[in-house]
Amino acid sequence: MDILTTMITPYKADGSIDYDTACKYVDWYYENGLTGIFAVCQSSEIFYLSLEERVELNRRVYERAKALDPNFLVVSSGHVSDTLEDQAKELNAIYESGTDALILITNRLDIHNEGDDVFIANAEKLLSMLPKDAKLGLYECPNPYKRLVTPKILDWCLSTGRFYYMKDTCCDAAEIARRVKQLEGSHFKLLNANCQTLLETMRSGAHGYCGIMCNFHPKLYAWLGKNYESEKADLVQSVTGTFGFTEIGLPYPLTAKYHMNLCGIPTENTARNRKNSELTDYAKSCMQQMKLATDHLEKTLEGIGKSL
């Protein structure tokens, strides 16, 4: 199983990116058993970063990850523009800074949600402007709208032979099982972003997890990826699935940055896509409670250290 976190972006007090702290996050992800990182994604606040910042952040993350372990996977997105020409410029810059796969945001390929034919035509044009040896992926990013892929789009992806990863956000276990069946026999891996359906989809053939909750308890997801067939996996799923509801109603990624402080990585409680005042005492208390429960589960889960 591939267990990837979405990368959050730390800032200094002056609002600039804290690249040194970002590298400390990479160390923490690796030390807690994850197999990779999704860099320069929505969790990274890509719509609020300049292209230069996106490229430099990706470069730092990629170089640090590969220094730790050449097999520590880094996949990267970072294209936010409306025109395909500008998207190609962004993606080529990210590719040159280092990545194992370029991840294409699905709504960027069909800006006005005009249908599969428009999506595929735009994707073909964009691919023609990218390095021919670049491995690719898809991300059903919710912002500015969630453009779910269809069987027709997946068939087209398979026909190119260039797609390797997909961050699936449909949140539908039955649909994920159908997609997995369609991808069977290929190197195209489906990674579920929804923690509530994760265990069920792992057992039905999904290839892992790629989501924001690895910023809070990566060790539990790493354990689940290796032990999803065990009876204890149902307990871990019930806990992580319940924790996952904090994605809604609490000010992520501020919560994740605050949680990094609880884990011993000093981080400014600031973001560009949220007001700092949203990180209330209530939100902090929720994170403290979640960490206390997480620590307890990690300590009492038999064999977790050996499994990792």
pLDDT at 305 over 70: no
| Three-state secondary structure call for residue 190 | strand
What is the rounded CA–CA span in Å between residue 300 and residue 219?
13
Mean pLDDT of 111-136: 97
Q: Which amino acid is at 11?
A: Y
Kindly indicate the confidence band of residue 88, based on its pLDDT and cuts at 50, 70 and 90. Answer: very high
pLDDT at 307 over 60: no
What is the rounded CA–CA span in Å between residue 38 and residue 20?
18
**Residue found under tokens 């964009």:** 126
What is the rounded CA–CA span in Å between residue 244 and residue 205?
21
Kindly indicate the confidence band of residue 281, based on its pLDDT and cuts at 50, 70 and 90. Answer: very high
Total domains in the fold of the chain: 1
How many Cβ atoms are within 10 Å of 185's Cβ, its own excluded?
Answer: 7
Q: What per-residue confidence (pLDDT) applies to 303?
A: 59
Sign of CA dihedral 205, 160, 110, 39: positive
What is the rounded CA–CA span in Å between residue 20 and residue 266?
11
Find the angle CA(10)-CA(80)-CA(12) to the nearest 5 degrees: 15
Mean pLDDT of 273-283: 96
Q: Which amino acid is at 88?
A: A
Q: What per-residue confidence (pLDDT) applies to 176?
A: 98
189 DSSP β-pair partners: 165
Q: What per-residue confidence (pLDDT) applies to 302?
A: 60
- Domain membership of residue 150 as a residue range: 2-307
Classify residue 215 by burial, with Cβ atoms within 10 Å: 0-12, 13-18, 19+.
buried
What is the CATH number for 248? Answer: 3.20.20.70
Q: What mean pLDDT is reported for the chain?
A: 96
Name which of 251, 276, 263, 271 is nearest 17 in CA terms. 271
275, two tokens: 């007001």
| End-to-end Cα separation, the chain, in angstroms | 13
Name which of 57, 42, 152 is nearest 103 in CA terms. 42
